[in-house]
Structure 1
Amino acid sequence: MSTADQDKLPPPVAVAGAADNLAGPAGAGGPADMVDGMAFARLYGEPLFKLPQDLYIPPDALEIFLEAFEGPLDLLLYLIRKQNFNVLDIPMSQVTRQYLSYIEQIRKTNLELAAEYLLMAAMLIEIKSRMLLPVKKADSDEDAEDPRAELVRRLLEYEQMKLAAQRLDTVPQLGRDFLRSQVYIEQSLAPRFPEVETIDLQAAWADVLKRAKLNQHHKISREELSVREHMSQILRRLQHARFMEFSELFEDAIRSGKGVPVVVVNFIAMLELSRESLVEITQAEPFAPIYVRLAYSPS
């Protein structure tokens, strides 16, 4: 069929599936009277009951590729394994002939043949030529290296990588073999305050002690300090406040200038109250200010 004839061909037909007994001439009522499902195909939305006589289908439209190779080494390994050749003793003449035959088939349909395929073809021809030449012994009386050694090494390495890739592909993958489960848990409305760690209490105490040293008076006197008395003072102060910051318990002792001894006794009194579960030491979140309050006692 000439180019001029091809330009006159009708537009492509979308085949909807048919059988020989379904495609036949229209009845007296015409194609419009027939059931739409009996049409062989549809052309621009209209039912088609028989293929046009001048319909041209190019040969490439029915071409089927049974094997797909990822590179020249993949093709070469396929030819060797398919014929059960020993990869350490490759019959170069036969393998090269089959490889060139495959390359020639690709070249007929695909002019943009990858250069790596042609490079491998040249390498096979070179190895085949070197094997036809007589072997020359080296001066050290050692056997000459096999021309196929480099090719065998590359084939073995490629086969190892290919098998490793196949094993990795069998490993379950997220999104392909399974999906990540998501569970929504309703959080409790009651706030949970973190527990006061020992290091937080030490840091707060060190800050109070530092401030007490800055406000002390150099007055030598002897005073008897009672831990129980300071415990009572702390309990009285906490009765009028729901929460009291840790450092506020020592403000009176610091302002009075009584020095570090009073502050130390006051701190011991607070620890004793905490040990006897009369007060609670808490904080809203990590690294937040530390508060002291009376211990909760159910009525």
Structure 2
Amino acid sequence: MSADSLSPSADALAEPAAPAADGLPEVVDTVAVAKLYGSPLFELPQDLYIPPDALEVFLEAFEGPLDLLLYLIRKQNFNILDIPLADVTRQYLSYVEQIRSRNLELAAEYLLMAAMLIEIKSRMLLPPKKTEEGQEPEDPRAELVRRLLEYEQMKLAAAKLDQLPLLGRDFLRAQVYIEQALKPRFPDVSLDELREAWLEILKRAKLTQHHKITREELSVREHMSLVLRTLQGRRFVEFHDLFDPRRGPQVLVVTFIAMLELARERLIEVTQAEAYAPIYVRLSYQPA
């Protein structure tokens, strides 16, 4: 693309752009260098002073020395079980030097890890010493590898937790019960439904009935005295007048047995003029 194509045409410079509703031109020929309170700024003020450390750009943000070390290893596809400490330490120290010039307190923790890397590298340069059992000594990088693997595992778990929905994890949805009406509204019930419900109750009541049986002791001798007392002073008494149906069938049976016992002992006489005639009972010792 030629320089002529980038330069504005004479017609564009000659004719001003139509003002917009907010007072700014809709089309401008130059690119805005900044935005001030929402309005584009096409030229920097002549008396504007910008301190050297006013703007800082951090391309990578790390949460600690292990995070930086793991980033350098994964970025260059190094085998975490066989870390090339020389290259990793060189890159690590270059980053630490950058943050040390800006924030010495933040760089202290990173400097401690740098010292550990240098110590591990120095131990690897020395000839290994065998243990008392004759086994090979442990790799000086083993402890660092273990810490890096544990940190990476925790970092991946934290990333999975961060992908969970916020609802139910960080906050809960508020639920408020608002009573719409003060008077409860009962359902409508028809007469047929009430009748069926009543019949069902009666059916269940019949299945759960209880019968109480009581035992009543009746004396035959006592009823024999009652019969004699009834016949006392009377010439004849009809047979059915000696029985009281209101007292139940048990009393009737005992009274009949008492009359048979009195007739056997000849204390009373039972007479009948002819068949199907009334039966009379009287005392034996009374004159006929």
Give the alignment's TM-score, normalised by structure 1: 0.45
Instruction: Return the structure number with greater relative CO, CA threshold 8 A, min gap 6.
Output: 1
Highest CA radius of gyration, 1 or 2? 2
Q: TM-score, normalised by structure 2?
A: 0.47
